[in-house]
Structure 1
Amino acid sequence: MKRLHMSLNVTNLEKSIQFYSTLFGTAPTTVRDDYAKWMLEDPRVNFVVEASDAPGVTHAGIQVNEQGELDALFNRMQSTDGPYLPEGSTNCCYARSDKSWTADPDGFRWEAFYTHHETEERGAGCLPATATACCDGGGCC
């Protein structure tokens, strides 16, 4: 089963946690000094807020529950006209995941991932570099 993923940068994490906890009617499932995540069932969303000086939507994604779903999603990403960046197995956002990225015609980033387990470390940069990260010399994700 798939789950929509949405990640926002916020300037005040504490106030954002309070706001979204009230909006969703539940506390986050994961909270760190710079990060909070809600694994909602209704609607089925993995919703993340991250502390940042630059607020806004960073990317959207599709989280899957098994490797076969991920392989099919990776194939669909590669079939679009957008750039494709296979990131592979990575430690990111306090989780160990397999993931790839693409971008829509306007450059909006989409992530496809399968999370194996949560970790205590945030991991390296959770978004790939823009200019050199992707295909055919073009920008990606």
Structure 2
Amino acid sequence: MKRFHVHLHVDDLTKSIAFYSNLFASPPARVEADYAKWMLDDPRVNFAISTVGHGKGVDHLGIQAEDEAELAELKTRGLAADRTLLDEGETVCCYARSEKHWVTDPQGIAWEHFQTLDNAVTVYGQQKPVAKPETACCGTGAIRGIPVNATGKATGACC
């Protein structure tokens, strides 16, 4: 069963963790120095916050697939939406190893479709060095300016 994904940028991680822990009546499933994630079952959502990125508020939305078939279905839907699809394949980002692709809606909101394959110990969004911090992982940086090679794979960043 798929899980809805929301990623927010926040100014103060500690205050935001306290707020969302109370709001969800649950502590985060994962906490890092610049990142926290709740894997909620009611409602079924992967809710993440981080201090990395531009400003504050919604960074990107997404759907987390539980298996390859669900991810393939999401890719078919993304292609059917008549939008450019950025297929990253297997990548490391947000402290996880994932298979993912991105599509941007008509308003410019990035949608991430992904299957988490395993946990990863890495600096948030910097598996490989990047030229500019604003192109670092996760979310809209991958959609808004990271070069894409001839196969449609992102180059120069983790996601």
Structure 2 match to 1:113: 114
Separation in 2, partners of 1:3, 1:63: 5
Structure 1: which 5+ residue stretches go unaligned?
136-141
Deviations 1:102-123 (CA, angstroms, capped at 9, x unpaired): 0111111100000011111134
What is the aligned-residue identity percentage?
Answer: 46
Q: Normalised by the size of structure 2, how large is the TM-score?
A: 0.80
Partners of 2:27 and 2:146 in 1: CA distance: 38
Cα deviation, residue 83, structure 1:
1.5
Query: Residue type matched to 2:61 in 1?
Result: A
Alpha-carbon distance in structure 2 between the residues aligned to 1:50 and 1:132: 20
Shift in Å, 1:134? 6.1
Would the alpha carbon gap of residues 76 and 99 (structure 1) be closer, same or farther in structure 2, given more than 3 Å must change?
same
Aligned residue-pair number: 135
Residue 95 of structure 1: aligned partner: 96
Q: Give the match's secondary structure for 1:105.
A: coil
Q: How does 1:1-141 map to 2 (within 5 A)?
A: 1-52=1-52, 54-121=55-122, 122-124=124-126, 125-127=137-139, 128-131=142-145, 133=147
- Structure 1 segments, 4+ long, off by >3 Å, are 131-135
**Equivalents in 1 of 2:85, 2:3: separation in Å?**
21
**Alpha-carbon distance, 1:126 to partner:** 2.0
Does structure 2 retain, via aligned residues, the 8 Å contact 1:85–1:133?
no
SS at match of 1:22: helix
Cα 1:54/1:12, change in 2 over 3 Å: same
The more displaced of 123-132 and 32-41 is: 123-132
**Aligned-pair Cα RMSD in Å:** 1.6
Give ranges in structure 2 of 5+ residues lacking alignment: 127-136, 150-159
Which residue of structure 2 aligns with residue 138 of structure 1?
none
- Deviation track 1:8-62 (CA, whole Å, cap 9, x = no partner) reads 0000000000000000000000000000000000000000000146111000000
| Residues in 1 aligned to 2:113 and 2:28: alpha-carbon distance in whole angstroms | 22
Residues 64 and 113 in structure 2, CA contact (< 8 A), matched pair in contact too: yes
Could you say what secondary structure the match of 2:27 adopts?
coil
Q: Does the Cα contact within 8 Å between 1:84 and 1:134 map onto a contact in 2?
A: no
The 1-side partners of 2:48 and 2:87 are apart by 22
Q: CA contact under 8 A between 2:65 and 2:114: conserved in structure 1?
A: yes
Q: TM-score, normalised by structure 1?
A: 0.90
